[in-house]
Amino acid sequence: MSLVKIFLKEIGRYNLLLIFVIFSILSFLVVYLSLPQIENTTYAYIIKKDLEKEKRISDNITYKITDYKEDVDLRKKISKDENFYKRALDLLEVILEENTKYLYITYFEDGRSFILIDASKTDRMYFGELFEFLQEELPVINEALKTQKHQYLVHKSVNTIGLTLYKPFKDKHGKEYLFVIDYSIEKISYISDIIKILKDFILIIVFFSLVVLNTIVFLTIRSSYYKYKSFNDSLTGLYNRNYLQHIINLIDFKQYIVALIDVDFFKKINDTYGHLVGDKVLKEVANKIKKVIRREDILIRYGGEEFLLLARVERDKDKRLLLNLFERIRSEVENMKIFISEKDYLRTTLSIGVNLSPEKSKNLEEVIKKADIALYKAKSKGRNRVEIYDEEKESNERLVTVIEIKDAIEENRLLCFYQPIVSLKDGTVSHYEALVRIMDKDGKIIPPYKFLNVIENTFVYTKLTKAVIDYNINVLKKYKNIKVSINLKQADILN
Give the pLDDT means over successive 10-residue stretches in the chain (495 positions).
63 75 86 83 79 86 87 89 90 84 91 92 89 90 91 72 87 91 71 82 88 83 72 86 82 87 89 90 94 91 90 74 88 92 90 89 85 85 87 60 84 93 89 93 87 76 91 93 89 73
CA-CA distance, 316 to 275, in Å (whole number)? 45
3-state secondary structure the chain: CCHHHHHHHHHHHHHHHHHHHHHHHHHHHHHHHHHHHHHHHHHHHHHHHHHHHHHHHHHHHHHHHCCCCCCCCHHHHHHHCHHHHHHHHHHHHHCCCCCEEEEEEEEEECCEEEEEEECCCCCCCCCCCEECCCHHHHHHHHHHHHHCCCEEEEEECCCEEEEEEEEEEECCCCCEEEEEEEEEEECCHHHHHHHHHHHHHHHHHHHHHHHHHHHHHHHHHHHHHHHHHHHECCCCCCECHHHHHHHCCCCCHHHEEEEEEEECCHHHHHHHHCHHHHHHHHHHHHHHHHHHCCCCCEEEECCCCEEEEEEECCCCCCHHHHHHHHHHHHHHHHCCCEECCCCCEECCCEEEEEECCHHHCCCHHHHHHHHHHHHHHHHHCCCCCEEECCHHHHHHHCCCCHHHHHHHHHCCCEEEEEEEEECCCCCCEEEEEEEEEEECCCCCEECHHHCHHHHCCCHHHHHHHHHHHHHHHHHHHHCCCCCEEECCCHHHHHC
Nearest C-alpha neighbor of 176 from the set 75, 34, 99, 327 = 75
Work out the angle at residue 443's Cα, subtended by the Cα atoms of residues 439 and 448, and round it to the nearest 5 degrees: 25
CA-CA distance, 231 to 224, in Å (whole number)? 10
CA distances from 400 to 171, 391, 467, 469 (A): 124, 15, 18, 22
CA-CA distance, 117 to 98, in Å (whole number)? 19
Position 331 scores a pLDDT of 93
Work out the angle at residue 344's Cα, subtended by the Cα atoms of residues 339 and 347, and round it to the nearest 5 degrees: 55
Q: Which amino acid is at 457?
A: N
Residues 6 or more apart whose CB falls under 8 angstroms from that of 186 comprise 99, 159, 160, 161
Are 204 and 122 in contact, with CB atoms under 8 Å apart? Answer: no
CA distances from 65 to 88, 145, 401 (A): 6, 18, 122
Q: Can you give the pTM of this predicted structure?
A: 0.48
Position 38 scores a pLDDT of 82
CA-CA distance, 354 to 258, in Å (whole number)? 6
CA-CA distance, 246 to 52, in Å (whole number)? 74
